């Protein structure tokens, strides 16, 4: 990335959504020259595929497909299938965010039905704070589901689940989601401008 002609460097900023947010957090835990990470509705634990880096393997967060619910419209709700990453013995699936030197911005939808992103971000920040770290902030939005796009993109409260490929509840309501989009986008830009501009 640093060799790409459109990357200014010497530090990188990463922006990721869902699994992409999870991978950006993992990159910041293991790689150098990352100054800022914005994770949008990303997990703080490894999901779906184990994370392998050099000789380190982080196993996936366990889930139980029997915990799938069906709503009144016969759409599947997967919000409770992932185990709590902070309760898994040994916390073995958690990304080691205590190693991260980059500044972290967690953007969470409080109506996220894929990842309990607000809970993940809040618990992570409590742990970081307990270790004396202050390199984090959370933007959390009510009425906003898993899909979180830049302003004026349409709302997708229902869509294909990224893993199970079945129609699933993603969450969100139009008015709240639209307000969240308009509020979050300049905050994301300001975050990167603050931590990526040369000092």
Does residue 84 carry a catalytic annotation?
no
Does residue 112 carry a catalytic annotation?
yes
Over the chain, what HEC string results? CCCCCCCCCCCEEEEEECHHHHHHHHHHHHCCCEEEEEEECCCCECCCCCEEECCEEECCCCECHHHCEECCCCCEECCCCECCCCCCHHHCCECCHHHCCCEEEEEEECCCCCCCHHHHHHHHHHHHHHCCCCCEEEEEECCECCCCCCCCCCCCCEEECCCCCCEEECCECHHHHHHHHHHHHHHHHHHHHHHHCCC
Does residue 178 carry a catalytic annotation?
no
CA separation for the pair 152, 119 (Å, rounded): 27
Please identify which of the residues 39, 79, 93, 112 carries the catalytic annotation: 112
Please identify which of the residues 79, 146, 161, 178 carries the catalytic annotation: 146
DSSP strand pairing (103-109 vs 136-141): parallel
Q: Active-site residue numbers?
A: 18, 112, 146
């Amino acid at each position: 990335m640093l060799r790409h002609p459109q990357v200014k460097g010497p530090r990188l900023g990463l922006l990721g959504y869902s699994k992409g947010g999870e991978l950006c957090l993992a990159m910041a835990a293991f790689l150098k020259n990352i100054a800022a990470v914005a994770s949008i509705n990303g997990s703080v634990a490894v999901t779906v595929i184990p994370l392998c880096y050099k000789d380190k393997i982080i196993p996936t967060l366990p889930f139980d497909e029997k915990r799938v619910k069906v709503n009144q419209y016969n759409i599947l709700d997967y919000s409770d299938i992932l185990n709590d990453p902070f309760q898994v013995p040994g916390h073995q699936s958690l990304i080691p965010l205590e190693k991260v030197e980059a500044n972290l911005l967690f953007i969470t939808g409080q109506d996220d039905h894929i990842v309990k992103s607000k809970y993940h971000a809040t618990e992570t920040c409590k742990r970081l704070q307990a270790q004396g770290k202050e390199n984090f902030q959370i933007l959390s939005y009510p009425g906003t589901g898993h899909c979180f796009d830049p302003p004026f993109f349409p709302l997708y409260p229902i869509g294909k689940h990224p893993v199970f490929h079945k129609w699933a509840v993603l969450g969100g309501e139009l008015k709240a989601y639209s307000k969240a989009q308009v509020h979050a986008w300049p905050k994301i830009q300001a975050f990167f401008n603050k931590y990526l501009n040369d000092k």
